[in-house]
Structure 1
Amino acid sequence: MISDVPTLPAIELNREDYLADFWRCFQRLKGDFWKLERGQTFREPEEPSWVALDQGDWRRAIALIDQRTEEIKRPVEEAARHVSMHRLRIVERPYSPYLRWELYYIRLRALAGEDIRVLDADKIRHLEHDRMLPELVVLGEEVMYQVLYDQSGTLRGARRIEDRERVAACAKEISDLHEKAEGIRDFLKREPSALPPPLKRELGALPPV
């Protein structure tokens, strides 16, 4: 089902409308939040740490994340009081710079209560006959967004899907894949090559949080 999402009827939203619609629905959510991330490289020009990464300054990129540890964790801790938050991050080798940066960043969300798991792309190849799996955000069983990016990897909007039966089916399929995946903290301990280069070369481990 998730491989067919791009063909489902949907309301297309631009970036601003998608973000506003998402937060409005998320604030009312009482069930499960699911996020499926498939792409290996994106642009986040509004994030200072990503800008440092884009400039090739890994040390500054890491430092900026470390400085914001509590700021990154706090909203997740608050949301986790009323929402079960789950994320499935698909990864491919060799790990892209963006992916290594993102994994370092979102591990803080895992520490704050988001159930983040990592799955090798080889495990989902059978679902990608004609195209890669879409980037998905599912809120309960009522609404799902296929998140859209431009050719540079910058967020440009989303397709809002409201067919409850199909939304529920996609949530179930993501959940099934999630069950087969590995927790992000265990993954990073096992796969030091997925860490930012300075940590891999000099520390070989995550800093304490």
Structure 2
Amino acid sequence: MLDLRAPALPVERGERLSREAYRRDFREREQAIRGGDSWKLERLQHFEEVGSPSREALRRGDWQEALRLMAGRADALRAEALDDERRGAAFHRLRVVEEPLTPYLQWELHSLRQQAQFGHLVRVVPADVLAPAESDTPLPELVVLDDRTLYRVLYSPNGAPAGAMRWTDPSVVKPWASYIRGAYALGEDVLTYFDRVVAPLPPPPAA
């Protein structure tokens, strides 16, 4: 049975990366993976995406335009999934959800559904399932690449990207890889969750 208590995340043993340094480091390490699994845990219920026209449309309250722009990513998503398959590098994404959904999360779940339709691996887990890990504070936003590198992705108070902390010590990385893997196993496929919870919702307000 999964121990739902979260592992340690010792800040003093990590390295702080700026937003650009994190993006560069992530890209290089992720592209080098051959035959390894990676994991992403998303916990916050609101983000300020940067450089996304679809996200900007949501911010303006133009829901149909947000969905139209999202649909335009099909070729890129297909190419990403094929590249992962070619490298044998499965990337699993676990989205923690609180209901009722925030406008941002409603939008993101449309995006995650689209990703899953092109072969990306996405599951959803209710926040209360992971409550034993959140007695003091919510779980952090985390990415584990190939059980070798752990990032805690950082955000400003309003949800804007602010770089990351990075750990490469196996004694820190491996427990978190195991934790996210176990939490992922408890999740529901995003496609069935979307059909059951998200599809019936009216368009969200601007956010």
User: Is the pair's TM-score, using the shorter chain for normalization, greater than 0.5?
Assistant: yes
Letter aligned with residue 94 of structure 2: L
Deviations 1:109-163 (A, max 9, x none): 2122221100000101111011110000000121110000011211110000111
1:75 equivalent in structure 2: 80
1:87–1:197 CA distance, 2 compared to 1 (3 A): same
The 4+ residue runs of structure 1 with deviation greater than 4 A are 193-196
Q: Distance in 2 between matches of 1:169 and 1:194?
A: 38
CA shift at 1:195, angstroms?
A: 5.3
| Counterpart secondary structure, 1:65 | helix
TM-score, structure 1 as length reference: 0.88
Match of 1:107 among 106, 113, 127: 113
1:179 equivalent in structure 2: 185
Aligned length, in residue pairs? 198
Deviations 1:157-179 (A, max 9, x none): 00001111221111111111111
Deviations 1:169-196 (A, max 9, x none): 1111111111111000011111136756
CA shift at 1:67, angstroms?
A: 2.4
Match of 1:23 among 27, 37, 40: 27
Letter aligned with residue 171 of structure 1: A
The unaligned stretches of length 5 or more in structure 2 are none
Letter aligned with residue 128 of structure 1: E
The unaligned stretches of length 5 or more in structure 1 are 199-209
| Counterpart secondary structure, 2:23 | helix
| Counterpart secondary structure, 2:28 | helix
2:142 equivalent in structure 1: 136
Match of 1:11 among 4, 9, 15: 15
State the identity %: 38
Q: Distance in 2 between matches of 1:193 and 1:96?
A: 14
| Counterpart secondary structure, 1:197 | coil
Q: Distance in 2 between matches of 1:23 and 1:135?
A: 17
| Counterpart secondary structure, 1:39 | coil
2:49 equivalent in structure 1: 44
Q: CA RMSD in A?
A: 1.8
CA shift at 1:75, angstroms?
A: 1.5
Letter aligned with residue 87 of structure 1: R
Match of 1:98 among 99, 104, 118: 104
Letter aligned with residue 5 of structure 1: L
| Counterpart secondary structure, 1:90 | strand
Q: Distance in 2 between matches of 1:45 and 1:174?
A: 26
Contact 2:123/2:187, CA 8 A, preserved across alignment: yes
